[in-house]
Amino acid sequence: MTIEVKLPPIADGVDSGDVAAVIVKAGDSVREDDTLIEVESDKATLPVPSPKAGRVTRVLVNQGDKVSVGQVIVVLEESADSSTETVSAGPAPETAEPPVKPLSPGFTPREDRPIMMDEPPPPPPAAPAQPEAAAASALDDHGPIPAGPAVRRIARELGIDLRRVRGSGRNGRILVEDLDPHIRQYVAARGGAAPGAPAIAPVELPDFSLWGPIRTEKASSLRVKIADKLAQAWATVPHVHHHHEADITALAAMQKRYKERVAEQGASLTLTPFLLKAIVIALKDFPVFNASYDPARGEIIYKDYFHIGVAVDTEAGLIVPVIRDVDKKSILQLATELGDLSRRTRERKVSPDELKGGTFTLSNLGGIGGGHFNPIINTPEVAILGTGRGTLKPVFSADGTVQARLMLPLTLGYDHRVIDGAGGARFLVRLVDILENFEATILGF
């Protein structure tokens, strides 16, 4: 029996990825659940297992190829009859979704898929009389438009009429890439420009080799995803950044006091677990910082859970895994989970689910150095905290004497559509108070 193994759904809202590694070759024997290829998508490298045992007869992808959900990646042969079977290496994606609805002006898409903004917007869609529009309309009249859930969600949120999109996938299936011209047009029209203002064309670079030797290097797919997501966040969210400092002299002494005991439990006690607990306490006092904004409906979505993203510096780029239910975990639990999650993130072994569901993000550069910096909000969250390295500074006490105190630079970034400056100041003042009186706050004083 010949089995065509298709790429299974990678993650919710992700329809494609890049082949990071091809594990098998033609002639190899594989068991059920053996890894066939590894696919890189949404900042994680994921193994694609074999759905059945058999012998590899063909490998249809190479390292570096872009693959889509449903694409045949490997052909296996079983010792059975001569019939042909098509198998997906995972559950089949859903196809039924609500019909496309128009979007309110000014909507910011919540989809994590990066939006490409490196080209000027294409001309407006052709008139309905064009052959492809007529064919798509006819298809819609006689059955569902061939598109997966992620494509439909993007189209619904951006107000794209899928009947006017020609699919490049098998049997005319509409892929995420087929929406790129419409997405670029949407971003150009709404990416911070005033209504009616002309779209800003990308800067045309000069020939740098005219002035000396140069070298070029292909940006990794992760670097492209990071660039596009942050550019989208910066262009569509009005950022405000508020700076402050916290006296963490007592907190650092407590960290040092318990560092060896935590090490005996197999974990490393850094300042980050304390920051996570302090953030959650402040979020409970100011729940709007733990929310998301839906401009399409004019709603603020408050979340009654506290999943904090922690930015991790890796060789491939910045990745933000999420620690769930921070409010329910002890400092020791957070230190242990943070160490494991950071290690697996640097090794690119985190799962897609571990990169989703964050309600607030912490970017701690204290281990590297530097002071205040302005982090970009990790949309669809509405706030982010950036911390630098604590430094000793002379500080006047209440009695007028000067003491050397360990001061931690803090920067709070927030979405001005949801949070006003006074609210940002109150949140940061409360956070500083928690950090400066951490032990008393934890004890309920």
- Give catalytic residue positions: 416
Kindly state the tokens that stand for 215: 């070298």
Segment (H or E) for 58:
strand 54-59
Burial class (CB in 10 A: 0-12, 13-18, 19+), 5: buried
Kindly state the tokens that stand for 386: 């950036």
Is the distance from CB of 274 to CB of 438 less than 8 angstroms? yes
Q: Which among 71, 81, 87 has a CA at the least distance from the CA of 33?
A: 87
Q: Which among 288, 191, 240, 229 has a CA at the least distance from the CA of 110?
A: 229
Q: Which among 275, 280, 279 has a CA at the least distance from the CA of 255?
A: 275
Cα–Cα distance for residue pair 328/325, rounded to 1 Å: 6
Q: Is 437 helix (H, G, I), strand (E, B) or coil?
A: coil
Residue 343 neighbours by CB distance under 10 Å: 12
- Give phi and psi for 409, each to the nearest 5: -75, 130
Fill in the DSSP letter of residue 186.
Answer: H
Report, in angstroms and rounded to the nearest whole number, the Rg of the chain calculated over CA atoms. 25
